[in-house]
Every structure is written in C-alpha cells, then in structure tokens.
Structure 1
Amino acid sequence: MTRPGPLLWLWYALGGGLPPRYRDWVLHDVTTRTWPLRQMLRSVVQLLPFGVLLLFVVPGELWVRLVAVLGGALVGLVYAAALVQQTTEHRAIKAGWPPHHAQAVRDARDAPGRAGAAQRYAERYRRDR
C-alpha cells in the first residue's frame, strides 16, 4: 500500500482524486479504526483557507472576526460530522471501489465486537418468559 506524499494528500484532503496506485490506501483511509477522525481532519483542512482569508480580509474588530470564523467553522464541522459516512463512501467510489464497499469493510471488521455486544445485551436484558 502506497501512501501519498504531502502535496497529493493535500489535494486528496481538498476533494481531489488520487492516481490508481493509491486505491488501496484510500480504502485503508476510509475504513481504518480512526476513519471518522481522519475525515474531520480533512474537513478542517478544507475550512482553514476560508477561515484565514475571512479573518484577514473582512474589516472589523479582531474578536468579532475570530468569533465569526469560529462560528462558521463549527457549523461546517457539524455538517461534516453529519455527512461523514457519505463523504467517505464517495472517496472510496472515486478511488475505484464499488458503492457501499467501504461500509461493508467497516462492518466486517466490527462484526465480532458487535456480535459479542449483542450476546452480552441478550444475556443481561432478554429473558424468556
């Protein structure tokens, strides 16, 4: 698995596609244990240029500009969190994976833990009467 360099990763973080040789890395990126954190980091990278631009271009008191930029960033991150699964699926599709493949990989990885949790739940709360 080949990881992209810093410039290609920045392009990827901003929404660009990667060459086919990074296909396996993209799948790893959107299915690894920390995939939601990775997506939120990419969202911060997408919001950062706009925040910096607004902070230095918009006239007014510094504290007002800071609060406005932080408020906008929070709204952007809420939307990013709400759409995290769809965004990662789209990244996997752009890399050449079939639709819903990333979610299937995550589900297969988490299946043993979920089965154990379901078993513990059934033992604790389900009683045949």
Structure 2
Amino acid sequence: MGTHRPNPLQWVWYAYGGKLPDHLAEWVLHDVTCRTWVLRQLARALIQLTPLCLAVLLLPGPLWIRLYALTLGLLVGVFYSLSAMIETAEHRVIKHGYPPGIGKDTREMHKDVRRATRNAARRRGQE
C-alpha cells in the first residue's frame, strides 16, 4: 500500500460515500480488501449512524424510550450495512477507478496467500 492516507475530514467524506482524490485510490483498494475490511465497514456504518443517534437522544421523552429507539436503530443500521458490505466495497473501488470484481478477487488472493503461509509454517513445524 502507498504511504498516502486520507486526512480525518476526507475519511468522513469517504465514510458517507464520497469519492477521494485520485492519489488515494490505492488506499481505497487496501481499505476494502485488507484483513480488517469488515471492521472498517462497521466503523463507516457507525459514523453514518452517529447523527441519527444524536438526534434520537435529543428528542423529548423518557430516557428509556430514547435508549431503546437508539439501540433498535443501531441494530437495524448495522445489520443493513453488514448485509450489503460486499456490494458497498465493490462500489467504492469502482468509484475510484478500479474494474468491477477487483475487490472480491483481491480479498480472495489475500486469503489464499495467508492460507499458504499458514500451511507452510505448519509443515516447517512438523519437520
């Protein structure tokens, strides 16, 4: 991965679906294909849900109702975000100039490399 990373404002823009400058395209590919890509998707979803959560907390009414509404909203939001994460990741890399399918192919390649490395380490340990 290149040394370029988005600054915090760019990352928030990216989390809400914005396109980053072209020099950050390699970081976007890394973001949606690295080992922790699911956690990164979850972080983006939580950032997207933050304004809604704050609005619910500011509504008038009993605190317990607002907390239940907040919890339910978070559960539904995270569920939908995680259920569409593969498509969302593909859309992000396509938006940044990569061909369709590269995100999935890159994640599979990384998984194969990790599996081969693990198997080679086991073989060395058995010898």
Flag whether TM exceeds 0.5 (same fold): yes
CA distance in 2 between counterparts of 1:61 and 1:91 reads 40
Q: 1:31 aligns with which of 30, 33, 39?
A: 33
CA distance in 1 between counterparts of 2:94 and 2:88 reads 10
Runs of 4+ in 1 over 6 A off after TM superposition: none
**1:1-129 matches, cutoff 5 A:** 1=2, 2-56=4-58, 58-112=59-113, 113=115
TM (norm. structure 2) is 0.85
CA distance in 2 between counterparts of 1:6 and 1:29 reads 15
Matched pairs, number:
115
CA distance in 2 between counterparts of 1:40 and 1:90 reads 16
Structure 2 alignment gaps of length 5 or more:
120-127
Per the TM alignment, residue 45 of structure 1 is displaced from its structure 2 partner at its CA by 0.3
Which one-letter code corresponds to 1:40 in the other structure?
A: L
CA distance in 2 between counterparts of 1:43 and 1:97 reads 23
Q: Secondary structure at the match of 2:20?
A: coil
Structure 1 alignment gaps of length 5 or more:
118-129
Which one-letter code corresponds to 2:31 in the other structure?
A: D
* 1:29-87 deviation line (CA, Å, top 9, x unaligned): 0000000000011000000111101210x221011101101111101101111111111
CA distance in 2 between counterparts of 1:15 and 1:55 reads 25
CA distance in 2 between counterparts of 1:105 and 1:50 reads 34
Q: Secondary structure at the match of 1:31?
A: coil
Which one-letter code corresponds to 2:82 in the other structure?
A: A
CA distance in 1 between counterparts of 2:101 and 2:32 reads 12
Q: Secondary structure at the match of 2:69?
A: helix
Bigger Rg, structure 1 or 2 = 1
